[in-house]
């Protein structure tokens, strides 16, 4: 049993394989306190940790200091305006105009399995794989009920939390804040780790000491955003990849969020996660319920790497719902950086034919195929084919691509509209915009009002018609701007506080309809790159375009940061053209592939423009990915070895679950002259297993043959360096890296790729 209730001590204890989460009901009124979260403990008689017999004591013993009790007690779901001066997780506006709310324990139930959250994506599992605790709490003054939901997963060190709030009184009450999770704990000099960024540099790592007061990350942009990520971790100061305590909190939501850590006067921390209260107000009539999104909690006593592998396994098993969760992802080519808007059917088929010759499996047609879409000023919202570019339509083109032996994919941006479009001219009130204010646009487009059912219905019918008439195996769903002026012309003034959340519910509704009608399609989420890369998107789209920045060197940072919380198979990663279209940097095509291997892998260029030597390199890259795709995407555990945020080198690796094979990569940013020796220490191997280690030492494709001959460098045919070593040697002593080999691999932005296989002795 994963969840226990000690009736005598009124203690709830939730156990994963290696962790425990403990709560207790205290005093006559039924305060629900947070007792403990961390490494697994054995006893349930631990309510003494709440120290209720010490000053200021519980109200039944010292009610004159009730406020002092409320301001120090480690609340499990703290109320508002009642004496606890720390941040609340819930606030209301009642009929008297007051914001006070406080919940007390009333009952609970424990059951196998897990309920769905209406309208929201959430983790899932079979009844035999998880157990759920629902704690019913009540504010007796307001007649408001909050059910706190906890689910423990049998094979994972993960606990999920969510909340549903129901109004049982006749009077309407407004919720002005509903956070999904909160817990209080001793400070212990933790540091706060978050993922920040901007367009083209998503999920950069920041780690800083937790000081007094409130420290937070958030988004009020209508999506989870480039700038901040709905994730926060508390890490002990000694934490590394392999050791130290780490608490991770991740939000299963794609809209506005707030993740906050507050350190108070008594050196305790309050950690919380939920929908950002800015521009949020949800009226509840009698017997109406508000469902808050799910939060994922993970504790690791084995450092950041332990947290990462827990989350990777959890999301692959219990969040990714697509049939592709257990399938190899197709190697694709996307025409965007090859053509932008300037294409016709002939050009597209020429690119597709060359891609097929190289071994590519899927061709993706990007922006520009619909309406009057010859640039980004017009056409968005008109989801019917541009017959001037594609006279046989998407239906005809998709069939011709399939006749070449490729699957066909399509780019869409369903939540947006240009004012220069038939859709806007017919329905100018369908955009989100405030009365009498300038209708802000970004990238020449406006946001459709997905808080309105009729808008979602219209878009669904338009794009579903295109899909039904064509042979489509993949859809890239983009979203290229934030929301501003959050006002719906389809809602009453008292309903405007619902708009931003209802918008996200509309997005989820459209995703649900499309994935239900077309379950065979592989969906890839995108939002100007990685602006909406969150666990909720994984529920619908098992992969997300990691960033619009396709430069290999910049991608090491982006993918390294993303790997803290997301499995490698969820990261869209491509080999792009050079000079790179964002950085204008030239990197070896080998390095571009060595980075892209650790993701879904594909190409974003016109292979017809490559030299014969480069095409041969591409063929070998595709063959390598096909050989190792199952290990990298489905079976392997990911280990970070060297951080691009700490030095000139980056390294990581994937090890099979049975530890019989692995792929490791080393990346150099800038070359060094007369520099020190390098050794790459691996991780995750079996110490007592002997491995054959192989590395292709052939010079990069652009390497000058005359230079190779002059220096006696090996030819491609005899360039594979192979030797044998035990796992303990490879992890403790490491692999020597010859700087001369890095010079042959390009010098600046050079990389090395290692494969390891168990030696049968």
120 token code pair: 């929201």
Q: Is 369 helix (H, G, I), strand (E, B) or coil?
A: coil
Strand ranges (E), 335-396? 362-365
Using the 8-state DSSP alphabet, how is residue 489 labeled? T
Q: Which helix (H) or strand (E) holds 167?
A: strand 158-167
Which are the contacts of 428, defined by CB distance < 8 A and separation ≥ 6? none
Q: Which of 94, 157, 449, 478 is catalytic?
A: 478
Partners of 721 in the β-ladder: 695
490: left (phi over 0), alpha (psi -120 to 50) or beta: alpha
Question: Angle, nearest 10°, between helix axes 612-630 and 345-358?
Answer: 70
Is the N-terminal amide bond of 254 cis, ω within 30° of 0?
no
Query: If we measure between CA atoms, which residue out of 6, 255, 226 comes closest to residue 119?
Result: 255
Query: If we measure between CA atoms, which residue out of 718, 741, 722 comes closest to residue 666?
Result: 741
CA–CA separation, 120 and 539 (whole Å): 10
Using the 8-state DSSP alphabet, how is residue 631 labeled? I
CA–CA separation, 227 and 718 (whole Å): 47
Query: If we measure between CA atoms, which residue out of 70, 130, 62 comes closest to residue 100?
Result: 70
Which are the contacts of 658, defined by CB distance < 8 A and separation ≥ 6? none
Which are the contacts of 474, defined by CB distance < 8 A and separation ≥ 6? 330, 332, 362, 364, 407, 408, 409, 410, 521, 522, 523, 524
Is the N-terminal amide bond of 696 cis, ω within 30° of 0?
no
Burial of 705: CB neighbours in 10 Å, binned 0-12, 13-18, 19+:
exposed
Measured in degrees and rounded to the nearest 5, phi and psi for residue 78 equal -70, 135
Query: If we measure between CA atoms, which residue out of 482, 594, 596, 480 comes closest to residue 529?
Result: 480
Give the residue ranges of DSSP H helices in 441-588. Answer: 453-468, 499-517, 535-540, 552-562
669 token code pair: 């940013």
Residue with tokens 């020597």: 736
Question: In the annotation, is 478 catalytic?
Answer: yes
Question: Angle, nearest 10°, between helix axes 345-358 and 393-403?
Answer: 30
Burial of 735: CB neighbours in 10 Å, binned 0-12, 13-18, 19+:
buried
Buried b (16+ CB within 10 A) or exposed e, 474-488: bbbbbbbbbbbebbb
532 token code pair: 């909406």
Are the C-beta atoms of 476 and 410 separated by less than 8 Å?
yes
The dihedral through the CA atoms of 616, 621, 627, 629 has a sign that is negative
Query: If we measure between CA atoms, which residue out of 509, 498, 651, 632 comes closest to residue 567?
Result: 632
Residue with tokens 């002026």: 485
62 token code pair: 């010292």
Are the C-beta atoms of 154 and 5 separated by less than 8 Å?
no
Residue with tokens 């035999």: 128
Residue with tokens 């130290």: 244
CB atoms within 10 A of CB 697: 18
Q: Which of 15, 449, 548, 549 is catalytic?
A: 548
Give the residue ranges of DSSP H helices in 528-664. Answer: 535-540, 552-562, 589-596, 612-630
Q: Which residues are part of the catalytic machinery?
A: 478, 548
């Amino acid at each position: 049993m994963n969840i226990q209730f000690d009736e005598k001590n009124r203690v709830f204890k939730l156990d994963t394989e290696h962790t425990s989460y403990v709560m207790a009901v205290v005093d006559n009124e039924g305060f629900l306190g947070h007792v403990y979260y961390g490494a697994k403990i054995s006893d349930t008689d631990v309510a003494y940790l709440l120290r209720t017999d010490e000053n200021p004591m519980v109200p039944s013993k010292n009610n004159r200091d009730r406020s002092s009790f409320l301001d120090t007690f480690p609340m499990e779901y703290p109320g508002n305006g009642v004496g606890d001066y720390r941040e609340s997780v819930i606030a209301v506006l009642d009929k008297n105009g007051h914001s006070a709310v406080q919940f007390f324990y009333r009952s609970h139930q424990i059951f196998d399995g897990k309920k769905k959250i209406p309208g929201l994506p959430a983790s899932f599992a079979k009844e035999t794989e998880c157990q759920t605790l629902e704690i019913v709490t009540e504010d007796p003054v307001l007649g408001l009920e909050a059910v706190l939901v906890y689910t423990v997963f049998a094979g994972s060190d993960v606990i999920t939390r969510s909340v549903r709030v129901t109004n049982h009184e006749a009077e309407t009450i407004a919720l002005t804040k509903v956070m999904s999770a909160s817990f209080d704990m001793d400070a212990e000099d933790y540091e706060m780790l978050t993922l920040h960024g901007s367009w083209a540099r998503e999920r950069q790592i920041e780690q800083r000491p937790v000081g007094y007061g409130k420290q937070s990350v958030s988004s009020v942009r209508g999506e989870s955003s480039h700038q901040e990520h709905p994730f926060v971790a508390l890490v002990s100061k000694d934490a590394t990849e392999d050791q130290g305590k780490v608490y991770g909190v991740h939000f299963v939501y794609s809209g506005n969020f707030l993740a906050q850590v507050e350190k108070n006067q008594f050196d305790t921390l309050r950690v919380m996660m939920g929908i950002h209260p800015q521009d949020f107000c949800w009226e509840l009539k009698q017997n109406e319920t508000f469902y808050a999104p799910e939060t994922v909690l993970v504790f690791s006593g084995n450092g950041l790497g332990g947290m990462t592998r827990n989350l990777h396994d959890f999301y692959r098993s219990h969040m990714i719902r697509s049939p592709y969760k257990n399938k190899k992802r197709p190697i694709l080519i996307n025409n965007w950086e090859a053509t932008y808007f300037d294409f016709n059917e002939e050009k597209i088929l020429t690119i597709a034919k060359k891609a097929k010759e190289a071994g590519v499996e899927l061709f993706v047609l990007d922006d520009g195929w619909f309406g009057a879409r010859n640039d980004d000023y017009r056409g968005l919202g008109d989801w019917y084919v541009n017959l001037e570019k594609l006279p046989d339509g998407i239906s005809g083109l998709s069939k011709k691509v399939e006749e070449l032996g490729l699957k066909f994919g399509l780019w869409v941006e369903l939540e947006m509209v240009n004012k220069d479009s038939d859709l806007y001219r017919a329905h100018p009130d369908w955009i989100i915009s405030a009365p009498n204010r300038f209708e802000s646009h970004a990238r020449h487009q406006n946001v459709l009002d997905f808080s309105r059912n009729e808008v979602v219905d219209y878009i669904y019918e338009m794009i579903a018609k295109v899909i039904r008439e064509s042979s489509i195996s993949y859809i890239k769903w983009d979203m290229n701007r934030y929301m501003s002026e959050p006002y719906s012309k389809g809602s009453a003034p008292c309903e405007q506080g619902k708009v931003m959340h209802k918008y996200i519910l509309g997005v989820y509704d459209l995703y649900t309809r499309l994935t239900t009608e077309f379950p065979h399609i592989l969906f890839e989420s995108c939002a100007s790159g990685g602006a909406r890369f969150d666990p909720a998107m994984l529920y619908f789209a098992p992969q997300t375009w990691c960033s619009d920045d396709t430069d290999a060197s910049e991608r090491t940072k982006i993918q390294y940061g993303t790997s803290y919380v997301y499995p490698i198979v969820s990261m869209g990663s491509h080999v792009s053209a050079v000079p790179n279209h964002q950085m204008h940097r030239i990197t070896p095509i080998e390095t571009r592939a060595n980075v892209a291997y650790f993701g879904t892998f594909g190409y974003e260029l016109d292979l017809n423009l490559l030299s014969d030597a480069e095409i041969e390199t591409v063929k070998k890259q595709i063959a390598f990915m096909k050989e190792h795709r199952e290990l990298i995407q489905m079976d392997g555990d990911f280990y970070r070895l060297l951080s691009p945020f700490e030095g000139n080198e980056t390294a990581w690796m994937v090890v099979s679950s049975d530890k019989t094979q692995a792929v490791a990569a080393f990346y150099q940013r800038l070359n060094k002259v007369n520099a020190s020796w390098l050794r790459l220490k691996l991780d995750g191997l079996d110490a007592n297993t002997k491995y054959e280690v192989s590395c292709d030492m052939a010079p990069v494709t652009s390497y000058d043959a005359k230079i190779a001959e002059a220096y006696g460098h090996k030819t491609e045919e005899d360039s594979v360096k192979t030797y044998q070593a035990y796992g303990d040697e490879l992890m403790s002593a490491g692999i020597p890296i010859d700087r001369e080999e890095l010079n042959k691999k390009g010098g600046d932005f050079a990389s090395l790729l290692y494969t390891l296989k168990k030696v049968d002795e």
